[in-house]
Every structure is written in structure tokens, then in C-alpha cells.
Amino acid sequence: MITGLGTVNPLANNVADTWTGLCNGQSGVNQITQFDASPFRTQIAGELKNFEPDQLFGSKQARRLDRYSQFALAAAMEAIDDSNLELESEDPFRVGVILGTGIGGMRTFEEECEKYQQKGPDRISPFLIPRMMPNGATAAISIHFGLRGPTFSVSSACASAADAIAMARDIILAGRGDAIITGGAEAAITPLGLGGFCAARSLSERNDAPQIASRPFDQNRDGFVLGEGAGVIVVEEYEHARRRGANIYCEITGCGQASDAHHITAPDPHGAGAINAMRLAIADAGRNVDEIDYINAHATSTHLGDLAEANAICQVFGSHIDKLAVSCTKSMIGHLCGGSGGVATIAAALSIRHGTIHPTINCDDLDPEVKLDITPNTAREIGVRNAMLNNFGFGGHNSSLVLSKI
């Protein structure tokens, strides 16, 4: 069961304002301000705004955390508060933390490399390794809240958060925990991060029109927009949640993972891994394809990726495709890489709670090869019993989840 939600992302630094922004079709993408991006082919991104970690958990702790860990801890604080989970009365060995990240502490890595080159090895920070390691965010949350249950990190590129959530659910079903803080975080808007994605020709170059640069399924899409932030949820065992009168958003009923085994960056053009992940998730949920009402698509806004996913969805859902609503969170916040699945899970959970599907923005000219109802521009009110979310990553990693109304 999902009993708590927390996020910081380019739209807002809390769940309520994020949901309002998503439903209103707002864009959080703009010119990069964290460093001089003028030498780069791409100069836009989905940056966090007005994020003040010193105010959230003190300057001393903030200095010891990389930006991605700060995001994760901030989102976890909101999720735990939202769940009303009284940790002091819980068995700490039954509450764990499982987070995903695709890259980890990249900002720390770059800053300390520069320091080494300019000032030598004696000036390297003793916090270099703890700040840059991919499990740094997981450890920070565990230490901050005194959680001693199953605690580890998952790194499967842009599928990381969804894989982490799937693992959290499996641990609870296996009886090895009562609650898991899970999701994902990323902070890859750095010179090296931006430069790497530019070199791979993955990013949109609409520098003069940042708010319309992320355009999933649009015929004129030219790459994804890099975003940053975190999406964290509390996953809880049903009886444990029921006994304490928890506010249950929905249930994670199905998980499916599969590999393309095709290429390090390009998706299988036939969507083989995506098809298998979706089918496994639906079967695991005990649902039929015609019981899925909504898909929060991976839909990064790349030519190959969007088309492969659209074709995979059509193959999985067949004639039900005409009754299936799809929308793309990344059209508004960009691609949070290892954190994207956490925010997508929050959006899907809120769709079930409110009976509303947020729109896909910026798709002004739907690719004629995409045969999906992408919920263009305007939110739609429909009853959502079962929602699927897709997350696919470099390396051919595919992860799909099914969330269901209880």
C-alpha cells in the first residue's frame, strides 16, 4: 500500500503544488542558472527553484550531502509526514529505505576533481566518497530517521526508481518489513552531466523556447530535457497500515522487469523489453489488459524511445487501446533520470485518488505513427481503477508498475 507521498521537482517542492501544476499543464523547464551553459549545445533544463536545504535539515547536514541526497531527504521528510507514520513507535528493524538513482553524486565528483587538479590531493574533501556514492541518499534517510530495516540502493539508469519501488513491495510481501521509504532521486544538471548527454545527442536544443522543448510523441520532438529532483513514497504492509488507520492512496499490485539486450542507449525498436515488462506487471497484478485505465508513459521526447514505447503499448493492449488514456509527466518537468519513476508513481497514485489524469503538453502535432490517446493539453476527469507507469533506461532496462484502487 502507498500511504505517503513526497517530492521536490522543477514544478514545485511539495506534492500539492506539483499536482496543481501538472493538472494545469505548467512547465518547469527554463534556462540553466546553476552554471554558465553558453558553451553547450543545450542550455535549458528542469531545475529546482527556491530549494533551501539549510532550512530543511540544517546547514551542517546539508553540507555533508550531495545535491541528489538533499533532494531525496527532503522528499522523504514530506512522504513520512504525509503518511503519519510515527517512527518512534515502530520497530526500526522493520522499516527500511530503498532508493534508486541513475548517477548519484555527480556534482560532488566534479567539484572534487576540479579541486584536486587545482590544489592537489591534500585538499580533497573527506566527504568525497560518502557524498558521491550512489547509496549516499539511502544512507542519509536511514541515518536521519534511525531506520534499521532493509536498506540499499538501486541503479538501473532511468528505471532505477521504479525498480526500487518494486523491490520495496517485494520485501513487504515477503514479510521482511512493515514499511519501506522508496522512490528515486537525481541531480545531474552539472557541466559534465549536461555535456555527456549533449555528446550523446540525447537532449533537445530548443534553447530559445525552453517551456515547449519537452514534447513527448510530437512529430517535431528533438530530444529530452534534463530535469532534477526526487519522488519518494511510503510503501506499507496492508494490515500494518489498516491497524494504524493510515490514509491509503492505492495498492501496488503489479511489477514487471525485462531487458532489451539490444544496445547501451537505443531501445529495442520493436519494444520487446517494454512489451514483456508491461505484460509481466499486468499478470502480476492479476488484471486483464482491458482493466488498465491509464498509463503514465516513460515518453522522454526522443524520436526512437517514444515510438518504441507507443508501438509496445499498442501491441500489449490491442483493441483496448481506443479506451486507454495516456499522459506524460516529463512534458512538464523534463527527465529526472533515476528519479523519474518516483514522480511518475506519485502522479499515478494521485490520478487514482482524484479521478483525474494530468495532460501531456507540447504535443502540437502528434506523430502519425503514434496511435495513442495522449490526453493533450487539458486534464481529464475519469475514474481510474488501475494505472500503469513505465520507466525505461539506458542499457535496455525496462520496468513497469501497476497501481490499483482499493
**Residues identified as active-site:** 158
Strand 294-296 versus strand 2-8 pairing type: unpaired
DSSP code at position 212: G
Q: Is 204 helix (H, G, I), strand (E, B) or coil?
A: coil
E-strand spans in 220-316? Answer: 229-236, 251-259, 294-296
Strand 294-296 versus strand 386-393 pairing type: parallel
Strand 229-236 versus strand 179-186 pairing type: antiparallel
Q: Is 75 helix (H, G, I), strand (E, B) or coil?
A: helix
Strand 386-393 versus strand 397-404 pairing type: antiparallel
Cell numbers representing residue 125 in the block: 574533501
Please report how the helices 106-119 and 191-199 are oriented relative to each other, as an axis angle in degrees rounded to 10. Answer: 110
Nearest to 7 by CA among 336, 406, 359: 336
CA 360 to chain centre: 16
Cell numbers representing residue 95 in the block: 522499516
Backbone angles phi, psi at 346, to 5 degrees: -60, -45
Strand 151-154 versus strand 95-100 pairing type: parallel
Backbone angles phi, psi at 360, to 5 degrees: -100, 125
- Nearby residues of 136 by Cβ (< 8 Å), 6 or more positions away: 65, 66, 68, 69, 104, 105, 130
Please give the single-letter amino acid code of residue 18. T
Nearest to 234 by CA among 78, 56, 357, 354: 78
Q: Are 185 and 101 in contact (CB under 8 A)?
A: yes
Nearest to 329 by CA among 2, 7, 3: 7
